Amino acid sequence: MKINNSSKPSTPAKVGQATAKPSGGASKSPRAKSSSDDKVEIGSLSSQLQALESSLDNVQVVDTARVEAIKQAISEGRFRVNPDVIADRLLTTVKELVLNHKG
């Protein structure tokens, strides 16, 4: 089965962004008039989400210092692969995936 993704996903406007107004002069709705008294309030959960998003922007996904240390150890021949540790961690990962898939 093929999924057609020809339509663009809709994205909500960000707070503070201007939205497009209908062209053509007069509006059909009397409520469409803009006033300086319009207010937008953001709930506390939304504020927390924005703060969390901002803090996640500063988190590194990859520990570049560790990657460089491993590269250096490999190039110098000091890096040793322990197949027992790899096997144990692989089995643990598979067990977690199986348990999470059932739930």
φ/ψ (deg, to 5) at 16: 95, -10
Mean predicted lDDT score pLDDT of the chain: 77
Q: What is the pLDDT of residues 81-90, one digit of tens each?
A: 999 999 999 9
For residues 40 and 16, give the distance between their C-alpha atoms in angstroms, rounded to a whole number. 9
For residues 102 and 96, give the distance between their C-alpha atoms in angstroms, rounded to a whole number. 10
Q: Where are the domains of the chain?
A: 64-103
**pTM > 0.75:** no
pLDDT of residue 40: 78
pLDDT, average across residues 29-55: 77
Residue that the structure tokens 């000091």 belong to:
78
**Cβ neighbour number for residue 80 with a 10 Å cutoff:** 6
At position 37, the amino acid (one-letter code) is D
Task: Tell me if 60 sits within 8 A of 51, measured CB to CB.
Answer: no
